[in-house]
Amino acid sequence: MFGGFILLKICLSLCCSKVTDNAKNSLASLKRKNPRLEPTLAIIQAHNDQLTQEANKNLAKEIGLRVIHICLPEGSTKDEIVSEILRLNEDPNVQGLALDLPESLCSSKVLNAVKPEKDVDGLSSVNLGRLVHGDVCDCLVPPTVCAVMELLEDIGGKKVLLVGTHGAEGAALQSVLQRRGAAVLSCHWGAPQLQSELRHADAVVFGSTKPHDVPVSCTKPGATIINCARDPLPEKHSYGQQNNPAAEKTVGSLAVAMRMQNMVKNMERWIQSQQYRKWDLHSLKLQPVSPVPSDIEISRAQSPKAVDVLAKEIGLLTDEIEIYGQTKAKVRLSLLERLKDQPDGKYVLVAGITPTPLGEGKSTVTVGLVQALTAHLNINSFACLRQPSQGPTFGVKGGAAGGGYAQVIPMEEFNLHLTGDIHAITAANNLLAAAIDARILHENTQSDKSLYTRLVPVVNGVRGFSAIQLARLRRLGINKTDPKTLTEEEISKFVRLDIDPSTITWQRVVDTNDRFLRRITVGQANTEKGFVRQAQFDIAVASEIMAILALTTSLQDMKERLGRMVVANDKKGQPVTAEDLGVTGALAVLMKDAIKPTLMQTLEGTPVFVHAGPFANIAHGNSSVLADKIALKLVGEKGFVVTEAGFGADIGMEKFFNIKCRASGLVPSVVVLVATVRALKMHGGGPNVTAGAPLKKEYTEENLQLVADGCCNLQKQIQITQLFGVPVVVALNVFKTDSPAEVDLVCKIAKESGAFDAVPCHHWSAGGKGAVKLAQAVEKAANQKTSFKYLYSLELPIVEKIRIIAQKVYGAQDIELSPAAQSQVDRYTRQGFGNLPICMAKTHLSLSHQPERKGVPTGFILPISDVRASIGAGFIYPLVGTMSTMPGLPTRPCFYDIDLDPITEQVKGLF
């Protein structure tokens, strides 16, 4: 008997070694293919079992796994264990989760708290359901069950008795045994037939410790006895009689090895889950009606998908989204690392002709195009849109969610607050503005010694520099880290920024059209000790921080850009930055969530990223680089990402190519140029179009001559696109007042003027179905060979770059800089900023600087009244004529029509 026991121990040891070696080799192979892989298994333990803990640690170390043991007190409740499980579920550094708990705590509540994808023990209902249904490739067999099956020899047709097995583990064991062809009978310890069944079973599996008062008679000679009881590891129980030659096998160590093997299998699945996955998107059905209802009525008539469902459909992982309510989610930037080897899709820009004050529907075309591509042509596509400012939403233009049956839903959430990005920008911007004025005040009223004492305070008896202060010391050439060692001269250099108040360019912002904030006086309270200066507010989306958000490529890049923002000059003419003020880290903290794009959906359930919202007339007017980059990975090589540039092609598109493409390194495949008969008639000499006023009859009746005359603006915008070597498709946004002859005329002229194609679009009234021909034209154009090029070299002088834009894009004869503008150009060149691209701040209502000049003005001199620099964003922006960075409210703003139903909490009157 003793010899048999030794033989059994050798057999178990060999099984354990075989499983361990297999797991070790498999993991080594995974690590060779994924060098940064650090597989981590978390084990929650709620009883003092040092032997099991050591066994887990030793085997994990041998295989190459990292194990974290969470040892909870023995009296821990189920709720406390579940709380710990939920924490580990959300830890992205933990890929597997196992439970070593007393049987009394292994309830379904506890077992099902473990995320199925982290369930190494395979005991959650999701995993067991797959196992029972035979989905073996998509589940993990519980380690104890694996160990039992390893120890049992061929059991087909044999009788297996399960004693004291219950719960999830018992169900799994019974299912696997039956699939292997065994006749399985299950008994509890108190069953009257237990003795009889023991004598007839070919194999007996004990699932729990035998009660002392339950006698066990002789088992069948030669029967295999396996003990799965949750007892300490080196265990031997004599459940059979001494005269039984069958030795008992205990699964303890082997089950631990099987758990580690499961962890390696889980890593294989985890790595597979990180790869690009084909979309499984289910479109939402549209049932357009005529006449077309209001935008908000259409939006409310559609039931959007839950955002986590949409995220799963397009291949996002659960830990890559942060859900806001039911229909919005932030997407984490970690996705870019996961899909870094995935080829990008096609990149499409939607621009437009010079618009009327009503807008010509670029957002609507963008949304209609992706609805057509994905919902009707089954091509992966993503729309990337800007977040609208609440200034125009409550002012005159309205929202930017598209319109009719081509819009982003829920449209009221899209147009109001969204996920708070603009509020974060406002907070960050105004924190920096406050820091500037406060620093000037403190420097004006304190000695060097007092400033130094306050800037470098004693904390816990020690005076020390913060990290950002050490960085400033290095920039000043002071290579010291001990505050006590600075000389008086070094202290003075360190504490005094000596900001020249007359050079401050950083303004406070608010996301409201408020004309009375265009010029203000700050510092009038007695507490500010006479430090009074003239200042102003800008609209929030004109903040350089918004421009940075749209152009940044990572959190680190954003932080560096925030630090480089120049807010003023010192009295020696040198730039003062946010980094000098010590506020960079705080700004990054305020912006840490805003950097993540927001996922929403169209009326037909196709995905949309909403991120950043700079105006195109006073900023660069494009959505974020990050949203585009993430979307290009998600759509796959044959998919399309459609993004929009603000206002006309002369403004938003020019900045897209010369600024955004330089920042992103991305190359567009095709430009969609949006035109309307209404705007063309205006450019052909039609009467003024005024927001809120009825259209004159020229715009509602057929007039082919006006249309033909106005096509000069369309032709000019096509020529501007061709400057960049990208094919252009004209999308004619058709209104119900447009005649077939007018539509045909525009398309004919567009094609004759060099457009790859020109397509009438009816997405506003028909949804994606009305833009299918546009989608097909875009798909064909995107397969054309492009010869993309920038308009100018960054090495050219600032003035020359401005002149190239003015002459080649706007059609100006020349430019004229005011003395103040020339002085700024000289200063920026002297400070080393001359190699930045140009971001023209110009009216969007004309190719010239004069809004009333329609069509294609020529022979004009473009006046540059001022030149400013957004060094953090990375561009110089000249102000053309009298550009305001704070819009005003009209006589009758949109807010007259906006209301809230106090019963249903529904927004009324929002378009």
DSSP readout, 450-479?
A: HHHHHHS-EETTEE---HHHHHHHHHTT--
233-285 pLDDT per residue, tens: 444 444 444 444 445 667 778 888 889 999 999 888 888 877 787 899 999 99
pLDDT at residue number 54: 83
What pLDDT, on the 0 to 100 scale, is given for residue 15? 80
Tokens 């035979």 map to which residue?
Answer: 134
Rounded to whole angstroms, the Cα distance separating 501 from 503 reads: 5
Catalytic residue at 472? no
Rounded CA-CA distance 615/392 in Å is: 11
Q: Residue 617 above 80 pLDDT?
A: no
pLDDT for res 759? 98
Q: Which of 537, 640, 657, 764 is catalytic?
A: 764
pLDDT higher than threshold 80 for residue 898: yes
- What is the band of 231 on the pLDDT scale with cuts at 50, 70, 90? low
809 DSSP 8-state letter: I
* pLDDT tens per residue across span 461-497: 899 999 999 999 999 999 999 999 999 999 999 999 9
Q: What are 625-637's pLDDT values in tens digits?
A: 999 999 999 999 9
Mean pLDDT on 784-811: 96
Which range scores top for mean pLDDT: 126-140, 210-224, 523-537, 729-743? Answer: 729-743
More confident of the two residues 3 and 852: 852
Average pLDDT over all residues of the chain: 90
Residues of the chain with pLDDT > 90, as a percent, come to 64
How high is the pLDDT of residue 812?
A: 97
pLDDT score of 398? 56
Residues near 50 by Cβ (< 8 Å), separated by ≥ 6?
none
Lowest mean pLDDT among 59-73, 212-226, 881-895: 212-226
Can you say whether the dihedral through the CA atoms of 672, 673, 677, 679 is positive or negative?
A: positive
Catalytic residue among 735, 756, 833, 860: 735
Give the pLDDT of residue 322: 96
pLDDT at residue 147 in the model: 87
pLDDT digits (tens, 9 = 90+) for 394-443: 876 555 678 899 999 998 888 888 999 999 999 999 999 999 999 999 99
Active-site residue identified among 147, 223, 535, 616: 616
Q: Is 386 a catalytic residue?
A: yes
Concerning whether 18 is annotated as a catalytic residue, the answer is no
Q: Decide if 593 contacts 599 (C-beta within 8 A).
A: no
Place of tokens 């194999």: 203
Residue 673, beta-bridge partner list: 351, 730
In this predicted structure, the answer to whether residue 157 has a pLDDT above a threshold of 90 is: no
The β-bridge relationship of strands 328-331 and 575-577 is: unpaired
Please say if 305 is a catalytic residue.
no
Tokens of 219: 């088992």
Please choose, from the candidates 384, 374, 382, the residue with its C-alpha nearest in 3D space to the C-alpha of residue 635: 382
CB-count burial class (<10 Å; 0-12, 13-18, 19+) for 700: middle
Q: How confident is the model at residue 217, as a pLDDT?
A: 64
- Contact of 110 with 78, CB cutoff 8 Å: yes
Query: What are 552-573's pLDDT values in tens digits?
Result: 999 999 999 999 999 999 999 9
State the catalytic residue, choosing from 386, 559, 629, 660: 386
Give every CB contact of residue 29 below 8 A, 6+ residues apart in sequence: none
pLDDT value for 56: 85
Task: State residue 198 phi and psi, 5-degree precision.
Answer: -60, -35
Return the HEC string of 368-416: HHHHHHHHHCCCCEEEEECCCCHHHHHCCCCCCCEECCEEEECHHHHHC
The string of pLDDT tens digits covering residues 360-386 is 999 999 999 999 999 999 999 999 999
Minimum mean pLDDT among 315-319, 503-507, 823-827: which range? 315-319
- Contact predicate 365/731, CB 8 Å: yes
CA angle, residues 405, 409, 415, in degrees to nearest 5: 110
Between 161-170, 611-620, 709-718, 723-732, the lowest mean confidence (pLDDT) is in 611-620
Mean pLDDT of 448-471: 94
DSSP codes joined into one string, 551-615: H--SHHHHHHHHHH-EEEEBTTS-EEETTTTT-HHHHHHHHTTTTSPEEEEETTS-EEEE-----
For residue range 648-680, what is the model confidence (pLDDT) as tens digits? 999 999 999 999 999 999 999 999 999 999 999
Confirm if 473 and 465 have CB atoms less than 8 A apart: yes
Question: Can 397 be counted among the known catalytic residues?
Answer: yes
> What confidence score (pLDDT) does residue 909 get?
75
Residue 764 a catalytic site member: yes
Give the position of tokens 């309270």: 525
Active-site residue, selected from the candidate residues 362, 596, 681, 854: 362
More confident: 728 or 250: 728
**pLDDT tens digits, residue range 570-597?**
999 999 999 999 999 999 999 999 999 9
- Please check whether residue 177 is in contact with residue 141, taking contact to mean a CB–CB distance below 8 angstroms: no
How many residues would you count in the chain? Answer: 911
Would you place residue 451 in the very low, low, confident or very high pLDDT band (cuts 50, 70, 90)? very high
Active-site hit among 206, 382, 494, 647: 647
> What local confidence, expressed as pLDDT, does residue 638 receive?
94
Beta bridge partners of 69: 43
pTM for this predicted structure? 0.84
Residue entry with tokens 């399960």: 162
Average pLDDT of the segment spanning 21-27? 90
pLDDT at 134: 82
> Across residues 787-794, what is the average pLDDT?
96
Could you report the per-residue pLDDT of 737-772, keeping only the tens digit for each? 999 999 999 999 999 999 999 999 999 999 999 999
The residue among 51, 173, 138 whose CA lies nearest residue 100 is 51
Highest-confidence range of 214-223, 242-251, 289-298, by mean pLDDT? Answer: 289-298
Residue of 683, 776, 673 lying closest to 731 (CA atoms): 673
Q: What is the DSSP letter of 20?
A: H
- Active-site residue flag, 364: yes
